[in-house]
Amino acid sequence: MKRVVAYAAAFIPLLAPCAAEPLSDSEIWNSGVDSYLAGDTTNAMSALRPLMLSRTHGTRAAEVVSKLAHDAGDLEESAAAAAIALRANPDDERVNRNFTRAIDGVPELRRRKRVEKALAAAKGRDCGEMLLESTRRARSLMRDAVALSELPPANAVAEGDRLSAAADALSLVWPAAGEAISQAVTNEEQAATILAQIAKAEESTIRAAELFSDLDGGAYSAVAEAEMDFNRFAKLVAMPPAAIGEDLVCQSNAYMNVEEVNGRKWQGEALDFTRAFRDKFPAWARAYEAQAQSDTNKPPFTAEAQAEISALSTELEKIQLECCETPLPPEMEKALAIIERIRELLPKDGGGGQNGQPPPQQQNKNDDDQKNDKKDNGGNESNGGENQEPPQEDQGKDEGEEQNGEEGESPDDREVEALLMKAQERNDEHEAEKQRRMRKAPLPPNERDW
């Protein structure tokens, strides 16, 4: 036994230099080629990857790694290896052709991965709320597009890149919306038509991102088109809680004579969301009742409340139709009171989504102007966005008492905060004018000079 140990101890020094001696680049290349010829792709890649930066064999190793990675479907590694080969031989036509082949399809692959990530993030979210939020983000981009043209060149490049990234992120909403809408439509022909329209809208949003990156003045038109698409589809799919919440925003803007948005009058927008609410309310109410029967945690939704909501929404549509023809502030106040009453009657299970009352304070959290919001005298003034909380709280309460024959309730802090968070984009000079008017004591309804 002692002889064996002694023999091993004497042999170890002879092995150590051989084990520690590194292989030359040529030996590594030959090893990788042997593995490649033997069909052992894994070992070939393992051997050749470290060799790609070699001065003697780096270009050939990078080309082989690029081909093997491309054959294996790893386009990212294939493109990266082809780029290393091109960097070493920028004037070689063959290397240039290989690089072009390697990067072909990489942008689409990256976008597909981002779309998959966006679909996973949108899973479980209400499609209508998602589209309404995207509409507000598109309006913010429209405002930023105007400001971009006024920036000095040194700042415009960075701002253009930021807006391009924002528009590109906004375009990822469309695949999620398309999936949700197509699943809800049973008619295959109708579903195909809707998906084609969504694909066109997605292209418009992607084009806006490209134009922002190029500092092209056409970015405004592209993002304005995207805003129209988001708004149109939001009206189609928004469930009653989200629709009535947006109805309140639009009616408030109409009451305060806020500047039109993308060529559309706010009163017409309010009417559209009222109609969207009325179209979906019966089926939504039945679905909520069915869920409430199986889920005892859901608050009940009585037949009396549903009947009152139906009657109020009918009256609301009639008032808004009249106001579309002739703006009448007293009637607008009445419409606001009706919308508030409808929101009070809707069940608030806190679950959001399609069958619950969505938390309105979350609807505008992506609006940068909301950082400057403030409440003054009960929340009658807002410094950010186009939309401000209407100064009709007391008047609307009195009219609600006369109409409903019951004592009106002033909104609690949460509702006031919700209204503030609903404030949306608005031009700075127009906002300043409204702020000056809101600081003054309001005149009686019959004496206001609208």
Distances (CA, A) of 248 to 64, 330, 387, 427: 63, 16, 10, 20
3-class secondary-structure state, position 264: strand
Q: Tell me, what's the pLDDT at 387?
A: 41
CB within 8 Å of 430: residues ≥ 6 apart? 258, 259, 386
Per-residue confidence band for 349, with pLDDT thresholds at 50, 70 and 90: low
Segment of 184-188, 303-307, 387-391 carrying the highest mean pLDDT: 303-307
Taken as a whole, the chain contains a residue count of 450
Radius of gyration from C-alpha coordinates of the chain: 32
Q: Tell me, what's the pLDDT at 143?
A: 93
Per-residue confidence band for 432, with pLDDT thresholds at 50, 70 and 90: low
- Closest of 356, 350, 191 to residue 287, by C-alpha: 356
pLDDT, tens digit, 9 for 90 and up, residues 76-103:
888 898 899 888 888 888 888 888 888 8
Helix axis angle, 393-404 to 329-345, nearest 10°: 70
Per-residue confidence band for 395, with pLDDT thresholds at 50, 70 and 90: very low
Of 23 and 269, more confident: 269
**Beta strands of 274-378 (E only): which ranges?**
none
pLDDT, tens digit, 9 for 90 and up, residues 322-335:
999 998 899 999 99
Instruction: Calculate the average pLDDT of the chain.
Output: 77
CB within 8 Å of 417: residues ≥ 6 apart? 361, 379
Phi, psi torsion values for 377, nearest 5 degrees: 55, 60
Residue with tokens 């983000």: 137
Q: Tell me, what's the pLDDT at 233?
A: 92
pTM score > 0.75 for this model?
A: no
3-class secondary-structure state, position 343: helix
pLDDT, tens digit, 9 for 90 and up, residues 181-215:
777 676 778 778 888 888 899 999 999 999 999 99
Q: Tell me, what's the pLDDT at 144?
A: 94
Q: Tell me, what's the pLDDT at 316?
A: 96
CB within 8 Å of 309: residues ≥ 6 apart? 281, 285, 342, 345, 346
- Contact status, residue 231 vs residue 246, Cβ threshold 8 Å: no
Q: Tell me, what's the pLDDT at 398?
A: 41
Residue 354 scores a pLDDT above 50? no
Q: Tell me, what's the pLDDT at 429?
A: 52
Q: Tell me, what's the pLDDT at 191?
A: 79
- Closest of 307, 297, 313 to residue 355, by C-alpha: 297
In the DSSP assignment, the letter for residue 91 is T
In the DSSP assignment, the letter for residue 354 is S
C-beta atoms surrounding 358 within 10 Å: 23
3-class secondary-structure state, position 244: helix
Q: Tell me, what's the pLDDT at 73?
A: 84
Share of the chain above pLDDT 90, in %: 36
> In angstroms, rounded to a whole number, what is the distance separating the alpha carbons of residues 221 and 242?
27
Distances (CA, A) of 345 to 244, 280, 309, 317, 351: 12, 16, 7, 17, 16
The least confident of 12-21, 59-68, 135-144, 308-317 is 12-21
Distances (CA, A) of 72 to 262, 323, 407: 49, 64, 72
Residue 165 scores a pLDDT above 90? yes
300: left (phi over 0), alpha (psi -120 to 50) or beta: beta
Distances (CA, A) of 75 to 70, 94, 99, 227, 243: 5, 19, 11, 34, 44
CB within 8 Å of 58: residues ≥ 6 apart? 51, 52, 84, 85, 88
Residue 427 scores a pLDDT above 60? no
> In angstroms, rounded to a whole number, what is the distance separating the alpha carbons of residues 206 and 232?
18
- Closest of 357, 358, 348, 318 to residue 335, by C-alpha: 318
The least confident of 61-70, 163-172, 296-305, 351-360 is 351-360
The least confident of 84-88, 158-162, 380-384, 440-444 is 380-384
Q: Summarize the confidence of residues 222-235 as an average pLDDT.
A: 94
Q: Tell me, what's the pLDDT at 35?
A: 87
